[in-house]
Amino acid sequence: MATTLAPTAPDAAVVAVPATQPAPVRLMALGLWGVVGSLLSYGIVMTVTPPPAPGGSPTPPPAAAVRAPSECRRGAPSLPPTVSTTSRLFEPLTLRGTTFRNRVWLAPMCQYSATDGVPDDWHLVHLGTRAVGGFGLVLAEATAVVPEGRITPQDTGLWNDAQTDAWARIVRFVQERGARAGVQLAHAGRKASTYSPFDAQGRRGTVPADDGGWGTVGPSASAFPGYDAPRALTAEEIAEVPAAFAAAAERALRAGFDVVEVHAAHGYLLHQFLSPLSNERTDEYGGPLENRARLLTEVVEAVRAVWPEDRPLFVRVSATDWVEGGLDVADVAQVATVLRELGVDLVDVSTGGNAPAEIPVGPGYQVPHARLVREVAKVPVAAVGLLTSAEQAEGLVVDGAADAVMLGREALRDPMWPLRAAHRLGVPASTAPDAPARWQPQLDRATWR
């Protein structure tokens, strides 16, 4: 069996990894000094000093010895510089062959307003307004890859032609405003078939079959609190999941989307497999981290194989379950390293959602997780979570905590947030099609003079 050795400094440890091992196995072969070194600055682990090498200087940490399959392998991308010129937030960002006019992006937010998975005029106005408002990327909500993958019966989907055609109309409008259009591909797993948050009768929990619901599935038969217990997926059913994501990605391409994001966060199916809190399997998809990450890496490989080389692929992760014994940021940083090697261009870093937890919510509370994933995995990241002011967002990009910021609730409150932020940061208003802070010609009279 062929063996690949990591390049090493003198006297550094050598990590040998069989080059034919699948992605999950390679998780165990990461250079742990890289992980530990970044964790130290956040007080997450105790300080560890390597023993001195001959001559008295500390032994340098080894480089990671992980490899992706040859058809997917990419070198570590050079991260964008963090030297401020005028406004880093409004500098374009290029990933693969796709350039975003700025780094203020709309986070995917479920609207629970579709019929049979088909987006409608509400989605056109919701997403189109944010494109008019200057967002560099407009990322559509969690969109189910199969009917039973919807969070609610009112979720959008990408499993048939009617949905694809409806999305195409929305994508065209967004792109004509100068923004990039993206879609988040999802399967809700055990958190599927639930009532909409604004159900007219105030109902919560699992929708029964006689009211339009369906049976749910997950890695194991354990229920999310307050929901019906799912059925554990069989090995044969698990094998169908990557193909479902790939088929949805092909439909996203036909609809014209510039970006697809695989949803592996917030307690949905791929997160359920990743987290030991919800994954009780004893086969190749359960147990140690490399097994729990297997389905996610298989999904990413399947999507990357059908998604064009010049278009970026994102993955959203929950960097911690906020529960002792659950998924933590060190685990996710290891997984992100392998995702980068499999062709993922940006990791969208959120937290929580897989179990009830006490979460220390506050301004920018998830940013430290994004920074750590960026530093360890050497992959561009987006930060999200109570980011509200122009100065706060600018500082995150200048400081190297993130390469882009995602706005959720703030974007709901203020669809024109990017244009306001640009004004506060001194970025000139312009109606030019490629302007970082582009005002639509119809709105030019409203610019600050």
Tell whether the model's pLDDT for residue 99 goes beyond 60.
yes
Long-range interactions of 89-93: CB distance < 8 A, separation 24+: 89/390, 89/393, 89/394, 89/397, 89/405, 89/421, 89/425, 90/422, 90/425, 90/427, 90/436, 90/437, 91/436, 92/136, 92/436, 93/136, 93/380, 93/403, 93/404
The confidence score (pLDDT) of residue 425 equals 96
Q: Which helix (H) or strand (E) holds 240?
A: helix 235-255
b/e sequence 197-207, b meaning 16+ C-beta within 10 Å? eeeeeeeeebb
Given pLDDT bands bounded at 50, 70 and 90, which one contains residue 448? confident
Tell whether the model's pLDDT for residue 34 goes beyond 80.
no
The confidence score (pLDDT) of residue 86 equals 81
The confidence score (pLDDT) of residue 23 equals 52
* Mean pLDDT over each residue of the chain, to the nearest integer: 86
Active-site residue (options: 42, 268, 285, 365): 268
Q: What is the pLDDT of residues 45-78, one digit of tens each?
A: 333 333 333 334 333 333 333 333 333 334 444 4
Given pLDDT bands bounded at 50, 70 and 90, which one contains residue 96? very high
Tell whether the model's pLDDT for residue 13 goes beyond 80.
no
Tell whether the model's pLDDT for residue 252 goes beyond 90.
yes
Tell whether the model's pLDDT for residue 38 goes beyond 80.
no
Cα–Cα–Cα angle for 369, 219, 191, rounded to 5 degrees: 70
Tell whether the model's pLDDT for residue 210 goes beyond 80.
yes
The confidence score (pLDDT) of residue 12 equals 33
Query: Residue range 11-27: average pLDDT?
Result: 40
Tell whether the model's pLDDT for residue 263 goes beyond 80.
yes
Joined tokens for residue 190: 């055990």
Positive/negative CA dihedral, 26, 32, 34, 39 = positive
Tell whether the model's pLDDT for residue 332 goes beyond 60.
yes
CB 231 within 8 A of CB 216: yes
Q: Which helix (H) or strand (E) holds 406?
A: strand 404-407
Query: Residue range 340-352: average pLDDT?
Result: 98
Given pLDDT bands bounded at 50, 70 and 90, which one contains residue 336? very high
For the chain, how far is it from start to end, CA to CA, in angstroms?
A: 68
The confidence score (pLDDT) of residue 215 equals 97
Which residue ranges make up each domain of the chain? 1-51+61-67, 93-439
- Give the CATH H-level superfamily of domain 93-439: Aldolase class I (3.20.20.70)
Q: What is the pLDDT of residues 391-407, one digit of tens each?
A: 999 999 999 999 999 99
Closest CA to 239 of 308, 302, 306, 317: 302
CB 382 within 8 A of CB 374: no
Share of the chain above pLDDT 90, in %: 80
The confidence score (pLDDT) of residue 35 equals 39
CB 67 within 8 A of CB 26: yes
Tell whether the model's pLDDT for residue 14 goes beyond 50.
no
268 flagged as catalytic = yes
370 versus 24: the higher-pLDDT residue is: 370
